[in-house]
Amino acid sequence: MPSLNIVILGPAGSGKTYLTWKFGEWIKNNTSNSVSFINFDPGVEWLPYKPDFDIKKFFSVQELMKRKHLGPNGALIECMNLMIKNKNKIKNEIYKLKTDFRVIDLPGQLEIFIFHPVVEILKIFERTTVGLFLIPSELLTPSGIAVSELLSLATKLRIEIPTVNIISKGDKIKNKKIIEKLILKPEILRKNIEELKIGVEKDLVFAIADIVEKISKSSRIIQVSAKKEKNIDILYGLVHEMLCSCGEI
Ligand SMILES: Nc1nc2c(ncn2[C@@H]2O[C@H](COP(=O)(O)OP(=O)(O)OP(=O)(O)O)[C@@H](O)[C@H]2O)c(=O)[nH]1
Ligand SMILES: [Mg+2]
């Protein structure tokens, strides 16, 4: 594989940090590729991996909360502003990491990162970048899948990086049959969304169901467990496929 950045995306608590760790370790142990870990979350208190680049060396949410008397979200926004200010320094540090892969862990409150101009920082890497958007298995209900697909679509529009959705925490899925029906048969998901009693006009519900069905049809979605190290090999194959479709292989 050519050298590559892999950005791990997903809502708060979806398993980004664990997957960053387990996927990176799996690549190191099972392929001939070298890996570096990048932490872009200035609010994280503890990491399971040893970061080769850590944004917390520059600033942290905790320090800004104290120094500027801010709440956690205000401090995170301030960190995003500082990331833009320090873009060149960050770029120089990351360029020094010459490993085959760089796995990038993003802030917990992904929405703050995605809807802030800092999102442009994902374009400073000098090599091909792909994204993995995590949908945690706790969200595998018709409305949960719909919201996740729409958030992942918004994310893709903002980051402009080829990104695929994957189900994280696959080991926690209890009713595999219902989940597989919803994931593998977009028409069933569509019917379920249309039947939801949500407080928006029926036309809008049909439009949402239509979009979600189209998104679900357009890609194969895999279930991964970082905790149980399940399907990490399939995830690696998927990244390979993404590179082929980007024309990199
Ligand atoms: N069962 C199970 N739990 C997991 C898995 N991956 C992560 N978790 C748990 O989910 C919680 C959140 O995991 P993180 O990796 O910190 O998630 P995150 O998206 O980085 O979280 P934030 O950065 O705080 O938004 C932790 O309690 C993890 O132990 C998994 O594959 N299976
Ligand atoms: Mg995290």
Q: How far is the CA of 21 from the centre of ligand 2 (A)?
A: 10
Could you give the CA distance from residue 126 to residue 91 in angstroms, rounded to a whole number? 9
Q: Which residues of 212-227 are buried (b: 16+ CB within 10 A; e: fewer)?
A: bbebbeeeebbbbbbe
For Cα atoms 9, 10, 11, give the angle at the middle one, nearest 5 degrees: 145
Quick check: 179 and 216 in contact, CB under 8 A?
no
Q: What is the pLDDT of residue 2?
A: 65
Residue of 100, 95, 105 lying closest to 39 (CA atoms): 105
8 Å CB contact between 209 and 194: yes
pLDDT at residue number 248:
60
**pLDDT, averaged in runs of 10, over the chain (249 residues):** 88 96 98 96 97 97 97 96 96 94 94 93 88 93 87 92 94 83 82 79 80 80 94 95 72
Pair of tokens at residue 16: 């980004």
- At residue 249, the pLDDT reads 55
Phi, psi of 103 (to 5 degrees): -100, 125
How far apart, in Å, are the Cα atoms of 89 and each of 35, 84, 93, 113, 124? 21, 10, 6, 19, 11
Between the two ends of the chain, the Cα-to-Cα distance in Å is 7
The confidence score (pLDDT) of residue 1 equals 63
Tell whether pTM > 0.85. yes
For residue 193, the model assigns a pLDDT of 84
Does the CB atom of residue 14 touch ligand 1 within 6 A? Answer: yes
Show the tokens assigned to 87.
């873009």
The per-type count for the chain, helices as H runs and strands as E runs, is 10, 7
- The answer to whether the CB of 15 is under 6 A from ligand 1 is yes
CA distances, 178 to each of 3, 22, 95, 246 (Å) = 38, 28, 45, 33
Distance 8 CA to ligand 1 centre (A): 12
- Of the candidates 124, 126, 125, 111, the one whose C-alpha atom is nearest the C-alpha of residue 158 is 111
pLDDT value for 244 = 79
Pick the CATH number of 4-145+160-172+220-245 from 3.55.10.10, 3.40.50.11290, 3.40.640.10, 3.40.50.300: 3.40.50.300
Nearest CA to ligand 1 atom 21: 13
User: How high is the pLDDT of residue 184?
Assistant: 78
